Structure 1
Amino acid sequence: MNTDRDIIRRSRDSPAAFAVLYDRHASVIYRYAARRAGEAAADDVTADTFLVALESLDSFDDRREDARPWLLGIATNLLRRHHRAESRLLKAMARSASREASADSTEGVAAKLDAAAAAAKLAKQLKAMPAIDRETLLLYAWADLGYEGIAEAMGVPIGTVRSRLNRARRVLRSGLTPELLDEKEKEHGRIATAPRNA
């Protein structure tokens, strides 16, 4: 079976070969974009990701076999344009989770209420998180990339990925917004170990 690297090398001379890469990874890119910005934006982001990739085949690192981190990096950059859509989606998730929980009166009401409250809280925390930390966390959780893949996708060192994921996890674990978490650390005489823009 051809690796992504083989397909990209062939595509440089014969762009038609790029269709195999599209067939292989389009669904992953679409799902990631749909979770981040909704289905309407996902179609555009997926198409634009592969268009940008085809136009910039020379930017692919030939030392890599897997093109997924490279493609997800392109998609993440494109999604920054759709941050308003993502923000609206997170708000809608928070609102609809609350409404769905109150509309159901069947046996699992308590469990559904708990799940809806957790979903609403998670959506609120994700929305409040700095975009760069949220992008890192979502590449890890929704795009199923490891630290090295995220570093490649975002063009940053692995240490930066670790810092961003650590900050995001602390926010999620604490149930606090990033601003309140920073204030709480200062109250206890601790300074956050990583700067906000790392």
Structure 2
Amino acid sequence: MASGINAVTNAHDEWRLDGENESGMTMTAQSARSPSDADILRESRDRPGRFADLFDAYHGQIHRYIASRLSAGHADDLAAETFLVAFRGRKRFGGQGGHVRAWLYGIATNLIRRHRRDEERKYRALGRIAASDGTDVHDNDEDQIAARLDALGVRRDLGAALRSLKPADRDVLLLIALAELSYAEVAVALGIAEGTVASRLNRARRTVRAALADADPARTRQEHENG
């Protein structure tokens, strides 16, 4: 999907130039205050150049999130597509409580859903790493997933545990663990209620812990006893 990446690169250059040239002023000179993301998105409906600020602010985050769930190659394409979808749909943005970042993560998550098999393969690879001594096969994406999920109490046999989740529950878990979204932001990203976010996260944690217990009951019991 190199054409998609090129389209976004070219569009970004046009957005940036438009933003600098509109009304004969730079973007900085136009703003006496720092506008919110929602302000920028609304302004971009009539002044497309404003959208470049959102691209600059969030492209890196979206790319890392997709790479963590799929691969860097997928991330190049899907991050580009995320911003094309957002740009084309900016006039339909309903506010979503001002959570533009969450809206972008929601678009990215929808695109990731097209590649579930690739995501499953990644988690199988994680499972193979967990089965090894863990000293010779690691990459930054896997380390990031492991570190973030470790903070949520999810540790060994990560790949099998993530594969055991329902896709909807996995989306919630990883938006919180990888993207570090709040419950409110996850609700916006997925178009669900905050209560549903909480219930899916709790179910995901239970499922993952059960998968880990099945993989190594003695060690899991020891962790439980140690708090």
Do the structures match in fold with TM over 0.5? yes
**Residues of 1 paired with 2:87 and 2:61: CA distance?**
17
- Give yes or no for the alignment of 1:127 onto 2:160: no
**1:77 corresponding residue in structure 2:** 110
Retained in 2: the 8 A contact 1:97–1:119? Answer: no
Contact 1:94 1:119 in 2 (8 A): no
1:93 and 2:129 are equivalent in the alignment: no
Quick one: structure 1 residues 138 and 10, their matched pair in 2 at CA, closer, same or farther if it must change by over 3 Å? same
TM-score (norm 2): 0.67
In the superposition, relative to structure 1, how do residues 151 and 103 fare at CA in structure 2: closer, same or farther (>3 Å)?
closer
Instruction: Give runs of ≥4 in structure 1 deviating > 6 Å.
Output: none
- Distance in 2 (CA, whole Å) between partners of 1:72 and 1:170 is 24
Corresponding residue for 2:174?
A: 138
| Deviation (angstroms), 1:23 | 0.3
Gapped runs of 5+ residues in structure 2? 1-33, 138-146, 148-153, 214-227
Count of aligned pairs: 166
Unaligned runs of 5+ in 1: 105-114, 178-198
Equivalent in the alignment of 1:14: 47
CA distance in 2, matches of 1:146, 1:11: 26
Moved more, 11-20 or 61-70: 61-70
Cα deviations across residues 62-108 of structure 1 (Å, max 9, x unaligned)? 3633311100000000000111111111111221343453769xxxx
Match for 2:70 among 21, 31, 37? 37
Query: Structure 1 residues 120 and 10 mapped into 2: Cα distance closer, same or farther (>3 Å)?
Result: same
**Conservation of the 8 A alpha-carbon contact between 2:106 and 2:190:** yes
Q: TM-score, normalised by structure 1?
A: 0.76
Q: Percent identity?
A: 44
Question: Mapping of 1:36-185 within 5 angstroms?
Answer: 36-62=69-95, 64-101=97-134, 121-175=157-211
Cα deviation, 1:137-196, whole Å, max 9, x if unaligned, reads 00111011111111110001111111100100111233359xxxxxxxxxxxxxxxxxxx
